[in-house]
Structure 1
Amino acid sequence: MNRPPHPVPLPLGGGEGARRAGEGDGLWSRCVRKSERRLPMNPDEHPTSNIQRPTSNGSKRPSIFLHSITDLRYDDDMSVLAIREFHQRLNARFTELNGMEVVEHYGDPPSEHAALRERAGVLDLSFRSRLCLTGADRQKFLNGQVTNNVKDLKTGEGCYAALVNAKGRMQSDLNIYILEDEILLDFEPGYGATVVQRLEKYIIADDVQVVDVAAHYGLISVQGPEASEVMRALGFERSAGKSTPDPSQEGNEPTAGATPLPAFGTAGAGFVQPPTRPANFVSFKAPTLGEIYLMNLPRIGSAGFDLFVPTAALGPVTDKLITAAKAVGGRACGWQALEMARLEAGTPRFGVDMDETNLPPEAGIEGRAVSYTKGCYIGQEVIARVRTYGQVAKALRGLRLADSIKVLPQKGDKLYRGDKEIGFVTSALASPTLRSNVALAYVRREHNGIGTELTLRTTEGESPARIVELPFKKS
């Protein structure tokens, strides 16, 4: 069956509207001068851009997130070429996603999908956008901008949240991490300018700066049931020579004073224990590689970890992860396999299954992304009103499609009950794991109960569809 098409490319991601790290006379310029990098964007060269110089009233401490790469002398463009050549040696095939080049697959999509579902897959997600917020007011400010509780998070903790407008409509979803001197935001490619403009709109008298770090730190992810075993193969198992509980079990927190990883050429006989609660993280330094941040982030409904790695170290770190994954039956995987596994898990993706027209409760992310006790934020009144006075008009649901369909539905294909149009498809998949055709779709509330039978209309005609629980399960 035909695979659903890629989303229509959107503007380039990575925080296009933000200051690039190193511009101006503030702390970032000190970091970049030390590394002697030539940064690609300067306000003087782009007078019409919304990039701003750092103000003089910000924190005087060097950025922790960029501090580790200031001693690494490299050219960003050469580093990008190096990691691309690394992927090419693995038989990578590239495609475009929202204006960014991504590895679509490594020549065997079915095997890559099986690795993600049954073992472990290593994915280069460096195409995603990455911003940092700095300044003394960063945490208080961000708490007033997003749907989840940020103000009570401590260093080493994080959360998932939505950035919404005054009408409660989503502008992006965000993975948020509280670093020692800044806050890291990780989100879908193509929405960097939107996020920067949205945040800077409300920076009035706050000591907050928005900085683009996408060029300096890449993102490598390990996902799948054996992801914890991949971490163990690299040394993420014990602290100070003592065994620790299974790191996949919630509640087993990193041990203070754990020594760096031998697998990354660091000193010491102990091991770093990975974070065990979703969105929590640890960091460690590796000689010649810089500081690496390890986040607990399941992306496809099973165990998962993200590693933020200095751009110059992407190749060596990815190679180590792939070697460790192969030891447990895993492998390098591309975006196509990740999308298949994501859909099987029933996880919506911003820009595809949720967008600027949706409220977070409509997309089914309310439980993960919304706090109703945190206090005020932009758009809070609308979202609170939905909870207080009734349900949303439509909601994202899982559909089991007919096995007989010859072509999968496209985004926007309509759903009917009788002659009444009651919804539309956002994503569809011929699932190897489920051995059936499935889809995500928005369905009006009076027709979206589990088990409801609907009619799908596509260019190929009509076919039956049934609403099922998410995540999808084998029938």
Structure 2
Amino acid sequence: MSTSATNSQDTAAIQAAQEGVAICDRSHWGRIKVADDDRLRFLHNQSTNDFQTLKPNQGCDTVFVTSTARTIDLVTAYVMEDAVLLLVSPNRREFLMQWLDRYIFFADKVQLTDVTDETATFSLLGPKSDAIVEKLGAGTIIGQVYGNHLSFDGIRVAVGSGLASFGYTLILPVALKETVWNKIVELGAVPMSDRAWEELRITQGRPAPEHELTDDYNPLEAGLWQTISFNKGCYIGQETIARLNTYKGVKQHLWGINLNAGVEPGTTITAGDEKVGKLTSITETAEGYRGLGYIRSKAGGAGLQVQVGEVAGEIVEIPFVSHEYPE
């Protein structure tokens, strides 16, 4: 397929995510099932959000961090009657399986299963997603809070698209993948490529492992305040995160950047003569180049004029993240 044809399809899918409904195949993302009696306590102790208050058919985003609160992955967790299903980034699946296994001790009743190959995941994105969900027979999920989910005919439908766009996430047996995909496309959803998803990820500001989620950054710098419980007990990395919050110690924040031209990720960002940050991701959109980068808090925020290497840029808001604790 020609580049221009690919670009026009991507443009159509992104427009559908803004005005209609798009569908993206996220089956290459990892799915880890955490089962047995201690599953909620275990996940509560291993990540940033509060699992002890979650009931079956509820869910949340959470961050797995190192002991010094450096980010490993941003994960969506769905609590079921007998297990918790974790939707993890594609390049973190094996690492997280090993990481979690390392913290299961002899007395812990926790079972980990990688169910990626036997399941599939789709995201519905866009304001008309409700109509599709209704026609699939899952209309009772409409209007529920983020992370809530229900299961029908072996398909789990959850509120939230995985990006800042309104939508839903579907997790289903791999045997149903082709049938369900075709039905959703027949109902009017526009197929979205991985490249178009990545463009939306960057323009909306969802941080990704090996780009914005690395050993260099903590979840508060990444703007993932909504994934962090400051009221729960001890968990890995908790002391560092609590200290950063208490003493307003977040020295840099993740922002969007409008750029005049393409430039390599990792390029230094300057304002005047001062080094203020680093570019972490970049994409080309119909409106020009957009990037993500960490900017020192003291340098400023939205509206700040910067240089990314030799390229002029401007700092802009991104909807996926927040820069302070949500009241």
Q: Same fold (TM over 0.5)?
A: yes
What is the aligned partner in structure 1 of residue 12 from structure 2?
111
1:156, distance to aligned residue in structure 2 (A):
0.2
Does residue 176 (structure 1) correspond to residue 77 (structure 2)? The answer is: yes
Deviation digits for residues 265-323 of structure 1 (CA, Å, limit 9, x no counterpart):
xxxxxxxx4462111100012xxxxx111111133322211111111110101111111
SS in 2 for 1:144: helix
The answer to whether residue 22 in structure 2 is matched with residue 159 in structure 1 is no
Given residue 118 of structure 2, which amino acid in structure 1 is its aligned partner? H
- SS of structure 1 residue aligned to 2:31: strand
- Give the 5 Å matches for 1:31-180: 108-180=9-81
Match of 2:248, as an amino acid? G
Q: Secondary structure of the residue that 2:185 maps to in structure 1?
A: helix
The question of 1:371 aligning with 2:220 is answered: no
Letter in 2 for 1:217: T
Kindly indicate whether the alpha-carbon contact (under 8 Å) linking 2:73 and 2:208 is maintained by their aligned counterparts in 1: no
**Partner residue, 2:144:** 276
Question: Which structure dedicates a bigger proportion of its chain to helix?
Answer: 2
Structure 1 residues 318-372: Cα deviation after superposition (integer angstroms, max 9, x where no partner) = 1111111x2xxx4111111111222222222233222232100011111x21010
* Residue of structure 1 in register with 2:313 after alignment: 465
Which residue of structure 2 lines up, in the alignment, with residue 21 of structure 1? none
| Contact 2:25–2:121 under 8 Å retained in 1 | yes
Structure 1 426/445 Cα, relative in aligned 2: closer, same or farther at 3 Å? same
Equivalent residues in 2 for 1:167-246 (5 A)? 167-204=68-105, 205-237=107-139
CA positional deviation for 1:236: 3.8
CA contact (8 A) 2:263 2:311 kept: no
State how far apart, in whole Å, the 2-side matches of 1:206 and 1:358 are.
30
TM-score (norm 2): 0.91
Query: What SS does the aligned partner of 2:178 have?
Result: helix
Whole-angstrom distance in 2 between the partners of 1:380 and 1:299: 25
The one-letter code matched in structure 1 to 2:15 is: A
Q: Give, as a single letter, the amino acid of the residue that structure 1 aligns with 2:46.
A: Q
| Runs of 4 or more consecutive aligned structure 1 residues displaced over 4 Å after TM superposition | none
Percentage of identical aligned residues: 30
Relative contact order, higher structure (CA 8 A, sep 6+): 2
Whether the aligned pair in 2 keeps the contact of 1:221 and 1:306 (CA below 8 Å) is yes
CA distance in structure 2 between the partners assigned to 1:214 and 1:298 by the alignment: 18
Residue aligning to 2:210: 351
Counterpart position of 1:440: 292
Matched positions, count: 317
Residue of structure 1 equivalent to 2:324: none
Structure 2 gaps of 5+ residues are 321-327
For residue 155 of structure 2, what is the aligned residue in structure 1?
292
Verify: 1:319 aligned to 2:212, yes or no. no
Q: Distance in 2 between matches of 1:365 and 1:164?
A: 12
After superposition, give the CA deviation of every residue in 1:409-444 in whole Å (9 maximum; x if it has no partner).
221011112333221111223332xx2432211112
CA separation of 1:390 and 1:339: change in aligned 2, threshold 3 A: same
- Whether contact under 8 Å (2:255, 2:317) holds in the other structure is yes
* Residues 150 and 158, structure 2, Cα contact 8 Å, conserved in 1: yes
Provide closer, same or farther for how the CA distance between residues 468 and 274 of structure 1 changes in structure 2, counting only shifts above 3 A.
closer
Say whether residues 1:397 and 2:251 are aligned partners: no
Query: Higher strand proportion, which one?
Result: 2
Amino acid at match of 2:108: D
Per-residue CA deviation, residues 81-128 of structure 1 (Å, 9 max, x unaligned), is xxxxxxxxxx899xxxxxxxxxxx698222222222221111111000
In structure 2, do the counterparts of structure 1 residues 92 and 280 end up closer, same or farther at CA, with 3 Å as the change threshold? farther
Which consecutive unaligned segments of at least 5 residues does structure 1 have? 1-90, 94-104, 238-253, 255-272, 286-290
TM-score, normalised on structure 1? 0.63
The aligned counterpart of 1:454 is 306
